[in-house]
Chains A and B, each alone.
Chain A
Amino acid sequence: MLTSEQRETENELFSLEPTPPSEILRRRISDDISSGESRRVRWMGPLAWFSSGSLLAASLMVLIYGTFTSKESPELEVRALEQEVLSAPFKGEDEFLRISDSSYLIEFEEGPVYLDESGKPSRDIRIKYLDTEIYQRLIDGREVTVESVRIKLSKPPSVSY
């Protein structure tokens, strides 16, 4: 319980309003947050899930078929198209310990058909992963989760039917 004098002092403090932040700060934060928009997880609707599942199943069938039918069993060639690096989220990173990381396939789509160097029709699959890293703050054990979206271009082996 506060004394009457303490309460009086407290009321004087309450009467003061902190200086508001500048408009420049608002714009800087807006830019920060807008540039980090893609880290959000966009949950797909049932139709999108069905479409994605069908596409994944078809792709797997093609890959398996290709593996067993082609003579050299070419491996899936994967190359990074773009990657949004959010893996250094804190300036005081030494105060955090990364305790887990995982990666989930969240979306993929077939690219347009094009002719490869040998002139054969080819098509890439664009795969989107959600990488999740969990950090633990050493001082109090509080956990912080950082999510980032990573996109890879997968090129299935050529299959002759």
Chain B
Amino acid sequence: MENFEIADWKTIFDQYGSKMLLFARQFVPNQADAEDIVQDAFRRYWKSNHLEGENTISLLFGSVRWAALDHIRQNERRRKRETLASQDDRALNDCHMFERSIEKTELSDQVEAALQRLSDSQRQIVVLKVWGEMTYEQIGQTLGISQNTASSRYRYALDALRRVIRKDCYVN
């Protein structure tokens, strides 16, 4: 195993940056806050002087989770003030979670809206499993739940997403 060298962070960032950002978005409603969280998560990961190995991905996403929870705690008061002041959530949701190619725009909107209807836990598991490409074991390590719990919540989440997406299709 090699030490995490300075040059390595770029490789890790290229590989996991967008996935970490998507995971961060599950905690906060806007891209700017999510980027703050990812920056903090990288700093934590870097300072931990972690040796690269099997747990790298769990530690990376675990760092995002802890950074996000700290961010939420620290900004709760400020966020309430801002929400009251602006009452305009669209200003905070100025960036989409997924890339919007022409043929995927509709699906992207549907999935983004459907994700918002899931519980926090289900949403995080879906992101870690689908876009983080993590195993149930790694998800369990990251979120502090059992492998079986991660697996069952993922299945429930897929069912819930399917219902919402199909319903939207019929409505439209």
How far is it, in angstroms, between the C-alpha of A81 and the C-alpha of B165 when the chains are bound? 63
> Is the pair B35, A9 in contact by a Cβ cutoff of 8 Å?
no
Restricting to B7-46, which residues have a CB under 8 Å from any CB of A? 9-10, 13, 17-19, 21-22, 31, 35, 38-40, 42-44, 46
> Is the pair A25, B111 in contact by a Cβ cutoff of 8 Å?
no
Asked whether any CB of chain B lies closer than 8 Å to the CB of A20, the reply is yes
How far is it, in angstroms, between the C-alpha of A135 and the C-alpha of B37 when the chains are bound? 21
Asked whether any CB of chain A lies closer than 8 Å to the CB of B117, the reply is no
User: Contact string, A25-37, partner B, CB cutoff 8 A, digits 1/0?
Assistant: 1101110111011
> Is the pair B35, A16 in contact by a Cβ cutoff of 8 Å?
no
The smallest C-beta distance from B58 to any residue of chain A, in angstroms, reads: 10
Question: When A and B form their complex, what is the total count of cross-chain residue pairs whose Cβ atoms lie within 8 Å?
Answer: 127
Instruction: Give the size of the chain A interface in residues (CB under 8 angstroms).
Output: 42
Asked whether any CB of chain A lies closer than 8 Å to the CB of B6, the reply is yes
Task: For B161, list chain A residues within 8 Å (CB).
Answer: 9, 13
Asked whether any CB of chain A lies closer than 8 Å to the CB of B49, the reply is yes
6 tightest A-B CB contacts, nearest first: A18-B22, A18-B18, A6-B158, A9-B162, A16-B98, A91-B70
Please report B residues at the A interface, Cβ cutoff 8 Å. Answer: 3, 5-6, 9-10, 13, 17-19, 21-22, 31, 35, 38-40, 42-44, 46-49, 66-67, 69-70, 73-74, 95-99, 104, 107-108, 111, 126, 130-131, 144, 155, 158-159, 161-162, 165
